[in-house]
Chain A
């Protein structure tokens, strides 16, 4: 059993380890190690296309994580007050949203948005007073919307768990001590679930930042970092790609660990 487990882990992590290792390759081939060097990191960071894609990814990840945290928190708190079949239905839908494969979300969002844009653009053109009516198209907006929808479910699940672990008597006590519902939310609920919100934000950020499949469908003319990596691989793998991958991996790991730590401390204090 132990040997079996070891093999599973080796199978999972050797490719990642190899990618990280070859990012320090002095040579320009991804298959032969020719001495240690960090030159590919320098090259990657100096590449304007990489930096452009990185910027796009960061903006999309930040905005969608922010939206997901805000809307997710609102949804989680609201769901707390609902009982019975309505709540069960929402719970189901939230878990489904997490389990639906990215490719389905990608295609569905693409088809949905294209259809809506196709309907809206002529109306917009007819109503627009100026000469050049705005055209709704795929891009930042669609990327952020799709990522928000997907990651919001995660935020809801995380915050719901935190709320469920919170003593109901705390909000009652606050209400008993003359705090209005808004005051209770601001002074008791929010501070107590804040670690969970932050953890949800970091997880959303990581998911959005690492996402390729959904972005591939809805990015339009924008290029996120994963999309850039995918398209450069088609031109041949250089250690530059390895360097980018390793940096993304390191950043993601840091965020995920931070999120875990936040969730743990929040639970202990609460």
Chain B
């Protein structure tokens, strides 16, 4: 199956990609860390590689940085094949997971390190000026002569960022840069990173296992699994048109009803669940009769009502649990055949219908078009 078959139009590569993977594979001994990667990275975009640890996202990043060279395929940087080009010859800079700041140098010396390697060497005052400008961008003015170990984790991260952007790289690679920060700081840093990226117009490539981070910051997300790219698209595309159950589970939350395709055409499919119930759903990627699939319904697309509404199939459910979230209320409900699933009800709906209580028996319903029939390629894995 090729990705192009159902990639939305906006996922088409731009005329001049800044970087590109063409059939790139990387093997470490027995392990295939990257398996036939094909991806165009557009100039100026914020792209994230998202996936669990060991999915190959870091390997992909390290091939762009030059720390690994592909076993097969080609990595392009600015139109040229760079498979075996040494890292120090690439116009690419990286923010390392644990920052990798030089402990024997001051903050200013760390940031100016890349500039000092240029030949001919820029004059001292030019380096000092650029270092000051970079410190300003990351809001660390006046920290020039500090020692690295005198800085907090958040400050070190800013220094690492400044050390990379001061060189005005064509690509800025970020290897789980927020992993070591606490939640609050991480949120701040996410917003700041986005602002910096927009301001400088540098192409940012982020590696993360945090879906929230990827969704909030990226223009496009590349979802990886077992060394392969599963789907690439904007956060909205991935949310609305996931390619399979894995993507739907990774981007946002969803209810999955596993079953087998009874009959299908290009647009709709009828799925028989294990309990014998049949569900109708929309088809994004072609499925064939007999195929193992999941019917995915997002919690916010399910309606709860005291009386059944006409036109849609209603499911008799009992409320097991209710969590008030302000804007929304989250209900855990149970149906005798479908089992337990989540419903997210907006405040507005509750105002008209009144809050539902635990133990209450209601009707849950959704439109057949909001149920997606997705390939279930990951039999035992939980979402």
Footprint of B on A, CB under 8 Å?
167, 169-170, 172-180, 183, 187-188, 191-192, 269-270
Contacts and interface: CB of A to CB of B under 8 A. Distances in A.
Contact of A177 (B67, B86, B98, B117): B117
A176 B104 contact: no
Given A192-B104, A269-B103, A270-B103, A172 B96 contact: yes
Contact of A178 (B101, B104, B117, B149): B117
Interface of B: 65-67, 86-89, 92-94, 96-98, 100-104, 113-114, 117-118, 149, 163, 167
A270 B100 CA distance: 11
Given A176-B93, A176-B94, A269 B87 contact: no
Contact of B65 (A167, A170, A176, A269): A176
In order of increasing CB-CB distance, the 4 nearest A-B pairs are A169-B100, A177-B114, A178-B117, A173-B100
A148 B65 CA distance: 41
Nearest to B90: A176
A47 B86 CA distance: 62
Given A169-B100, A176-B92, 16 more contacts: A167-B100, A169-B96, A169-B98, A172-B65, A172-B96, A173-B96, A173-B100, A174-B113, A175-B86, A176-B87, A178-B89, A178-B114, A178-B117, A178-B118, A188-B102, A270-B103
Nearest to A191: B104
A169 B87 CA distance: 13
A180 B88 CA distance: 6
Given A178-B114, A179-B113, A183-B117, A173 B102 contact: yes
A180 B100 CA distance: 17
Contacts, number: 63
Contacts of A174: 102, 113
A177 B93 contact: yes
A100 B169 CA distance: 53
Nearest to A169: B100
16 contacts: A169-B97, A169-B98, A169-B100, A172-B67, A173-B96, A175-B67, A176-B67, A177-B88, A177-B114, A178-B118, A180-B88, A187-B113, A191-B104, A192-B104, A269-B103, A269-B149
A24 B94 CA distance: 65
A133 B103 CA distance: 55
A177 B105 CA distance: 14
Q: Which of B89, B96, B100 has the most A CB atoms < 10 Å from its CB?
A: B100
A192 B66 CA distance: 24
A178 B114 CA distance: 6
B96 A175 contact: no
A174 B110 CA distance: 10
A180 B118 CA distance: 11
B336 to A, nearest CB: 55
A152 B98 CA distance: 34
